[in-house]
Amino acid sequence: DISSDAQSLLQFASSVPHVRQLNWNSTIPICKSWVGITCNNEGTKVIAIHLPGHGLFGPIPPNTIGKLDSLRILSLRSNFLNGSLPTDIISIPSLQFLYLENNNFSGEIPLSVSPQITNLDLSFNSFTGNIPETLKNLTRLTSLNLQFNSFSGSVPDLNITRLRLLNVSHNQLNGSIPSSLQTFPLSSFSGNELLCGPPLNPCPVPPPSMALRPKKHTKKLTTGAILAIAIGSFLLILLLGILLFCFLKKKDRDSVGELTIKAVPPGKNEKSDDFGSGVQAGEKNKLVFFEGSNYNFDLEDLLRASAEVLGKGSYGTAYKAILDEGTIVVVKRVREVGVAKKEFDQHMEFVGRVGRHPNIVPLCAYYYSKDEKLLVYEYMVTGSLSSLLHGNRGIGRTPLDWETRVKISLGAAKGISHIHSEGGAKFTHGNIKSSNILLTTDFDGCVSDLGLAPLINVLPTKPRCIGYCAPEVIETRKFTHKSDVYSFGVLLLELLTGKSPLPSGHEEVVDLPRWVRSVVREEWTAEVFDEELMRYPHVEEEMVQMLQIGLACVTRVPDNRPSMEEVVKMIVDLRSSDSSEHRGSSEDNRSKGSNVQTP
Ligand SMILES: Nc1ncnc2c1ncn2[C@@H]1O[C@H](COP(=O)(O)OP(=O)(O)OP(=O)(O)O)[C@@H](O)[C@H]1O
């Protein structure tokens, strides 16, 4: 009856530490007032528990929630629960919806899963072992999400007619994808290096191993067969040779995307702080405008403009130039470009093309001469994420709210994802950081400095991406899509913690990912968040989810990081109907007069 359910819940609350208070006690009616608890109409049984983002810590003890024998929905997502998943919970015979994503559960999934289960979400945990074959028997299953765990072994042949959503991406699964699941999209399986077959790449054909063949076959190989094999192998080698030749040819043509240019030593002293000092006489009108740019000025206008230094970056100085007619642009004077004009033109043409996207700062024009290289960008009045986040932390500061932070990060993620998909496998941004994320007037994030890193592909003595560099970049000095993902992950951690990964003054460089990981490991997750965010109630769940995305991006092994496309999806999902449904349920909880509070 209801009192034994209450007893089991009180047992749970007393053994699982929690940051947000629970108003559970035996003096108030469980079905009417307990936070997160829903009963059946008769008020005789608990049928649902919703405690997402409640700051629950540690393992779930057996014989607590597992004793609620009429439970249908259990949502404990976005907490800090760890240890193994108690068998008694997952096998509650009435259980239909189990949401445990974004926790730290480990160990294997128990084999005896409730046959009533329709929705099972264990994503973003540290589960290991095989995906149990017993899942095949769950005929009612419609949605199974196991992404971002450490499951190994093969994918079971889940031939379940009702299954609509499946995600086993980013695990360590291997073997071929069962044919019953091949209709699911690529994103359901990506991030499993050893998994193959449609919709992923075809599985390698195993080499004919003599040892594995019954002896009698080898004996029966006729001369004709041997001859056929020899001719076949010759043709195969010939075909491979032709393919390799074509590939090298194509690579040659495509190489604008990965210019490797000798860096010229930086000038000892810049002669003047004017950006036009290197412009050659007689070349005053050689400003090359990009298609779609509706500016109407020439180089002379630009040189006459009143200019103000915005800052000295790693490529050179950026100026804000105010032209006669009130047009404002940003001129970047780029040093250390050792590339000839023709290559520079080609590269700029490519960058201009790739860079046409609402989340990329528009490049309007450029100028190239032997002594001066100028890039002209649209001026973004609202400034950079870096200045919004770290500028003026004292009195009079306008806090940067959570909604805006999510919007900026989504815009930036879309911009980078576009660069990766349009620029090709070799084209990277190479310098993602908060001062390169500029904001539109309605606070959408835009990526700036596109195409500069590949021009100056020789790392200066101090890497320019300091604080944001993926560990492998420091060793290999090569930027990849996955190293951009890492830098973006650092940027997410910066947004969440309010801490800059750059050294300031005499302070040492903060290794932000390392710091965040250590705090989370010590189970003080609530401490990592920017104090400024703590004033907004009911956003912790989204913050914890964003933290998980950030941490997935800064994984040390590049292949285990998500792609930018996946990151965009994950940030969008943060706001999906599923969350709002739960946000709705926390509204209910609030109206129940709970004293739920942001720590
Ligand atoms: N188009 C722009 N509109 C407004 N501000 C800009 C624009 N481009 C750059 N800035 C700002 O000007 C300053 C200098 O920019 P710059 O890109 O030269 O250096 P950085 O971002 O500090 O370093 P890096 O050269 O490594 O990118 C930064 O604070 C940046 O946010």
Task: Confirm whether residue 342 is marked as ligand binding.
Answer: yes
pLDDT for 258 equals 23
Closest Cα to atom 11 of ligand 1: 310
Coil, strand or helix at 194:
strand
Share of the chain above pLDDT 90, in %: 41
Does residue 210 have a pLDDT over 70? Answer: no
The string of pLDDT tens digits covering residues 24-35 is 988 999 998 999
Q: Which atom of ligand 1 is nearest to the CA of 448?
A: 8
Query: Hey, what are 272's tokens?
Result: 């003047």
CA 502 to chain centre: 21
Sorting pLDDT into bands at 50, 70 and 90, what band is 218?
A: very low
Query: Hey, what are 478's tokens?
Result: 């090569």
> Position of tokens 């070349």?
283
Coil, strand or helix at 104:
strand
Query: 194-196 and 288-289 as β-strands: parallel, antiparallel, unpaired?
Result: unpaired
- Residue 375, Cβ density class (10 Å: 0-12 exposed, 13-18 middle, ≥19 buried): buried
pLDDT for 43 equals 92
Mean pLDDT of the chain: 81
Closest to 46 measured CA to CA, from 35, 54, 56: 35
**Distance between CA 346 and CA 125 in Å, rounded?**
46
> Ligand 1 centroid to 133 CA: how many Å?
54
The string of pLDDT tens digits covering residues 487-532 is 999 999 999 999 888 876 555 556 899 888 888 777 666 778 888 8
477 vs 47, more confident: 47
pLDDT for 424 equals 85
Long-range contacts of 475-483 (CB under 8 A, 24+ apart): 479/428, 479/429, 479/430, 479/453, 480/428, 480/558, 481/420, 481/425, 481/428, 481/563, 481/564, 482/558, 482/559, 482/561, 483/428, 483/430, 483/558
CA count, 13 A, side-chain hemisphere, 205: 2
> Ligand 1 centroid to 280 CA: how many Å?
26
> Ligand 1 centroid to 383 CA: how many Å?
9
Closest to 121 measured CA to CA, from 138, 151, 99, 94: 99
ipTM of the shown complex: 0.96
Length of the chain: 599
Q: Which atom of ligand 1 is nearest to the CA of 377?
A: 1
How much is the average pLDDT of 146-161? 92
- Residue 219, Cβ density class (10 Å: 0-12 exposed, 13-18 middle, ≥19 buried): exposed
> Ligand 1 centroid to 319 CA: how many Å?
9
Closest to 68 measured CA to CA, from 12, 21, 115, 20: 12
First and final C-alpha spacing in the chain:
34
pLDDT for 521 equals 73
